[in-house]
Structure 1
Amino acid sequence: MCIADHLVEAAEGGDVFLVARLLAEGAAVDARNSMGRTALDLASFRGHPEVVRLLITAGADPEQPAGEHRESTPLCLAAAHGRTAVVEALIDAGVHLRAQGRMRWVPLVLAATSGDEGHPRTVTLLLDRGADINAVMKGRTSHEWAARFGQVQMVRRLLGRGATPTAKALTAAHEYTERHPESQRKNALIIDALRVASATAD
């Protein structure tokens, strides 16, 4: 196994002491392993903030291409998997919060919509650190995507933080009900929240 493979494996496993030793022995901080992944890529994905901070201090590019096909970024991977402490470490390193990577993914949208109800702590951190709550990814904002996926609590959370209630979100909520009639009662809560927020905004 080459030294790059060792470094990436140690970073993925969260072994901060081994990562430090391998870097001291001359491992290139952004070298890719045999699968094309870097230490920062997999440390971000697995949720190891101490390793992430060490790698960045050692010179790792915090905005490097990441993911299995280099389609993402460390921040997007961390946001999509609710790795809040890693997200904080990357923001502290100066990573911007706008659309990024080859796919132009928006970290806030990923944090808000991944999983059954998104990742509330990660969303809160991103918003507290300056993420644009109305940023658009693939034609929709985070709360419009949350409405489309039937995520009641996330829609409420985002509206409570100042998301602009839109006709597109209301349409998305109705479409979700049509696709999932068994969730009609739950989705009625989204529709009500959007209508109340819209009336308040007016």
Structure 2
Amino acid sequence: MMESCFYNKLESVEREVNFDDLKKDLFSEFNSIDSQESCLEEHEHLQVYLRIRPFTTTESEKGESQDCVSIERPDTVLLKAPRTSLSARLRDKSAQRFQFSQVLGPETTQREMFDSTVRGLVKEVLEGGNSLVFTYGVTNAGKTFTFLGPEANGGILPRSLNVIFNSIEGRVYDQMTIKPQRCREFIRLTKDQQSEEATNKRNLFRLLKEVLGW
């Protein structure tokens, strides 16, 4: 009797649920996006660049250069086992090919790296687009050198900032009547809020001078 009542109750609940209310036409939302505002339709969504780090003097003296990596085409590398590995001793001549958006060899300069990979993305950002750039690799692969670089030979980050600030020169809003809010919004400040922002700015610079000894 209890099982029968429970079963009947389930049936009544199922009849009350209207699954049509749970459906949502997601295509209508995507169709409403202006295709001209999308930077992704002109090229691939994700671009992967490979930069091959040159051997240091110490590594070359130790014989670590064993011709494991060779560039076949501007976007393809061929990987072979090191000569001292077990595979090489067993005369296993198998190799693997990997394809990227572009392969940059050991002779690539910091400027060439920036021009080939990030300059176009910075231009899209200045036109209102969004981009994400990150470096990925094992320890000592050259990620920090590529991204930051030394002071005299900057990487992609300082070069990107240099292009951005040089491009907006003369178009910077130097007043304190607006304040960014969230991602793309801003609020207009009242006179009291402007005075408060100016005080906070002075206090911040004073604190930086004390900490950094400017």
Q: Which has the higher helix share?
A: 1
Normalised-by-shorter TM-score class: under 0.3
Q: Which has the higher strand share?
A: 2
User: Rg larger in 1 or in 2?
Assistant: 2
TM-score by length of 2: 0.26
